[in-house]
Amino acid sequence: MWVGTRRQFNGLVIGGLTMMLTKNFSSAEMMCSCGCGEDSMDPDFMSILQNIREDMNRPLRISSGVRCAKRNSQVSSTGSTGPHVPRKNGTAASDILIAGADALRLIDIARKHGVSGVGISQRGTHAKRFIHIDTISDEQHPRPTMWSY
């Protein structure tokens, strides 16, 4: 669904249209960051993500949603078929910038909504800490599981 947006930029009000995948998550924030334009997210995963966001009752900052095979090979040891690479129905994974008590609360709530893959990056500066969640399951990615980075 497209929604109208208005924002202030150097005193100018700029109107635009934003493609939303769910109430709170836009296509732009889930899109591959390499510039290829790939934004295919699994709709079932997106409704889980939206439900998690509503239970958390706070905005969730996505640091990574879709990654095309090329991008994933550049940034992850999981190569061209990692959890962020779109499957048949799109990508069913995302990384969420979150730390401390909120990070633990996110894991509790995500599990309640059926998330079966959890990756934990909770070292170093709080602003860069994140939790990976996914609902994928295939021969290469058996679930449930948990890992750290």
Instruction: Give min distance, CB of 91 to Zn ion, in A.
Output: 11
Between CA 99 and CA 128 the distance in angstroms is: 8
Interface stretch with Zn ion, choices 19-27, 31-39, 89-97, 104-112 (CB under 5 A): 31-39
Instruction: Give min distance, CB of 71 to Zn ion, in A.
Output: 4
Instruction: Give min distance, CB of 148 to Zn ion, in A.
Output: 26
- Determine contact, residues 51/113, Cβ cutoff 8 Å: yes
CA 55 to chain centre: 16
Q: What are phi and psi of 81, to 5 degrees?
A: -130, 20
Is residue 36 part of the contact set for Zn ion (CB under 5 A)? yes
Between CA 129 and CA 101 the distance in angstroms is: 12
Identity of the residue, 71 or 132, whose beta carbon is nearer to Zn ion in the bound complex? 71
- Determine contact, residues 109/133, Cβ cutoff 8 Å: no
Per-residue contact string for residues 53-92; x = within reach of Zn ion by CB under 5 A: ---------------x--x---------------------
Identity of the residue, 41 or 68, whose beta carbon is nearer to Zn ion in the bound complex? 68
- Site residues for Zn ion per CB under 5 A: 32, 34, 36, 68, 71
